[in-house]
Amino acid sequence: MSLGVVTPFWLDRPDREAVDIAVAADRAGFDTLWIGEMATFDAFALATAVGLATERIRLKVGPLAVGVRGPVAVALGAYSVAQLTGRPVELALGASSPAIVSGWHDRPFPHAASRMREFVRALRPALAGDRVEFAGEHVRTRGFRLRGPLEAVPVTIAAYGPAMTRVAAEEADEIVLNLVTPEHVTAVRDVVAEHASRIGRPPPGIAVWIPAAVDPGQATRRQLAAQLAVYLAPPGYGEMFTALGYGSLVTRARAGTSRAALADDVPLDLVASVGAVGSIEAVVERIDEYHRAGADHVGIVPATAQDPAGAALLEALAQARR
């Protein structure tokens, strides 16, 4: 039962705070740092900067949208980080959303689960240093070979929805869930175990990302609400929030209501249902609740509006768990 840190991309904070969070997590002794990608840094560039600024924390890059980069680009990115930092690199992959894949990058979003399966099967030999020859329906690459192999690179898949969960159960080393309840973790773990059993492989581990804040003040509450508002509309997230009783917010988000307007109406109870907020004791207990629900790893997304770089939260968590 491990505990890691996620570099968040709070929309109201300086971009370079991501590196400060990484340094704070490393100093506090966390074992894993997740390095995603949104509208600031290229994930591999940020991972390189983080690797050079920290001493020991493991670098897990992603989830990266499989509809945006190809397997060769991901293999090159991982190799670059490993070579430039001298640090092992792990990878996480996801479908992302139509708004990002099709809207931002002008790439096709349909058939995300099938694309993911082919992507992982093409990526693994590329990471191993083999010459890649792969011709799928959605992913094709021919003749590429890295200068040298990377040591076993675990591949995590972000799973939302039945199709992607099945692919993750059958292809991934780990599954990551974002903004979910403990009950959802248990349900996914059972489904994953069933799918994996059918093909005779051990089920992959389950990781979960949860936003966290100790005794959040008004600015922190606003930060948490504004970020959660981003996830109200995308497929999968919206359905889960609807099941939690917040369907009206999802409907408004999908109708085009602005993030700022939605954030005004996101209650702290909604944040708390998919995160860990309150006293340090309550935050620790909530993390343990996710572990008891079946999460092998919990990634903390630290709120920073009133706690720069999340340093106080991360140190308090580290002390509480020693």
316: its two tokens: 């308090």
pLDDT on residue 292: 97
- What tens digit of pLDDT does each residue of 270-314 get? 999 999 999 999 999 999 999 999 999 999 999 999 999 999 999
Domains of the chain: total: 1
Rounded to whole angstroms, the Cα distance separating 236 from 149 reads 36
pLDDT on residue 122: 98
Q: Residues in the chain, how many?
A: 322
Asked if residue 92 is part of any domain, the answer here is yes
CATH of the domain at 141: 3.20.20.30
Asked if residue 133 is part of any domain, the answer here is yes
Asked if residue 184 is part of any domain, the answer here is yes
Rounded to whole angstroms, the Cα distance separating 145 from 158 reads 26
- 202 pLDDT above the threshold of 90: yes
- What tens digit of pLDDT does each residue of 212-249 get? 999 999 999 999 999 999 899 987 889 889 999 999 99
pLDDT on residue 38: 84
pLDDT on residue 261: 94
pLDDT on residue 98: 77
CB atoms within 10 A of CB 312: 16
Mean pLDDT on 131-160: 94
Query: Amino acid identity, residue 3?
Result: L
Q: Which residue has the higher pLDDT, 266 or 100?
A: 266
> How many Cα atoms sit within 13 Å of 303 on the Cβ side?
28
Under the banding of pLDDT at 50, 70 and 90, the label for residue 78 is very high
Mean pLDDT rounded to a whole number for the chain: 94
Show the domain range for 150. 2-213+276-320
Asked if residue 234 is part of any domain, the answer here is no
315: its two tokens: 């140190």
pTM for this model (two decimals): 0.93
Q: Is 23 helix (H, G, I), strand (E, B) or coil?
A: helix
- 173 pLDDT above the threshold of 80: yes
Say how many Å lie between the first and final Cα of the chain, rounded: 14
Asked if residue 89 is part of any domain, the answer here is yes
Asked if residue 253 is part of any domain, the answer here is no
Asked if residue 224 is part of any domain, the answer here is no
Asked if residue 53 is part of any domain, the answer here is yes
Mean pLDDT on 158-164: 91
Under the banding of pLDDT at 50, 70 and 90, the label for residue 251 is very high
- 99 pLDDT above the threshold of 90: no
128: its two tokens: 């191993």
Residue with the two structure tokens 């079946």: 294
Rounded to whole angstroms, the Cα distance separating 168 from 301 reads 23
Rounded to whole angstroms, the Cα distance separating 130 from 149 reads 8
pLDDT > 90: percent of the chain: 86
Under the banding of pLDDT at 50, 70 and 90, the label for residue 59 is very high
Mean pLDDT on 87-105: 89
